[in-house]
Amino acid sequence: EVQLVESGGGLVKPGGSLRLSCAASGFTFSSYSMNWVRQAPGKGLEWVSSISSSSSYIYYADSVKGRFTISRDNAKNSLYLQMNSLRAEDTAVYYCARQLGIKYYYYMDVWGKGTTVTVSS
Amino acid sequence: QSVLTQPPSVSEAPRQRVTISCSGSSSNIGNNAVNWYQQLPGKAPKLLIYYDDLLPSGVSDRFSGSKSGTSASLAISGLQSEDEADYYCAAWDDRLNGWVFGGGTKLTVL
């Protein structure tokens, strides 16, 4: 069964750091681009970052650029999100999602259940 | 303010048909495939439609998608109470080099 399981969320003070992990199973992790998508309480979905299968291409939303770093370890079937200089507006459920497709025809087909990050003093 | 524009809410009676619109621009919907997600309360998003109008295995054929130019639509026929959820459209944006989502549409089955 294809599965993504996020972990690492928690309560952190403004300005603090947190590292999220996403463990993949049931598919060849190294063949797929991966994404982080977040959802603030009561709000819609917001894309955070993407990383290609070999880490050659990495993209960030403007709202996190310079503060968050996406990475992956294909040997460990794991995706990461290092979050620094956290702000209250980063409070959200963070989902990892697998990306399929080719240029002009991308889609995210499998999502984890999410991990909750709360930034508060 | 979301890059893709959806109505905040729609409602319709059981067994009826409802459509949800999604408006974008040439850098996203106009040049890339549109995908739709269903999010039940407290759950992760679930892929409903991909490549504008294709259904993943296991998704009911009561759901259908379409696209024209820089706009897309999701239609749900034979509405059931279990269809009550939030629905999101999404597309890759070539100018932003990232995914953009609609603000989400809350469907209420009356």
* Tens-digit pLDDT profile for residues A66-115: 999 999 999 999 999 999 999 999 999 999 999 998 888 899 999 999 99
Verify whether the Cβ–Cβ distance B92 to A113 is below 8 Å: no
* d(CA A69, nearest CA chain B) in Å: 15
Neighbours of A107 (CB within 10 A): 25
Mean pLDDT of B40-59: 97
Q: Give phi and psi for B68, each to the nearest 5.
A: -145, 115
Residue B1 confidence (pLDDT): 86
* Tens-digit pLDDT profile for residues A14-57: 999 999 999 999 999 999 999 999 999 999 999 999 999 999 99
* Tens-digit pLDDT profile for residues B75-88: 999 999 999 999 99
Task: Return mean pLDDT, chain B.
Answer: 97
Verify whether the Cβ–Cβ distance A45 to B44 is below 8 Å: no
Give B59: exposed, middle or buried? Use CB within 10 Å, 0-12, 13-18, 19+.
middle
Enumerate the residues of chain B whose CB falls inside 8 A of the CB of residue A47: 98-101
Percent of chain B with pLDDT over 70: 100
Q: How far apart (Å, rounded) are the C-alpha atoms in residues B8 and A5? A: 30
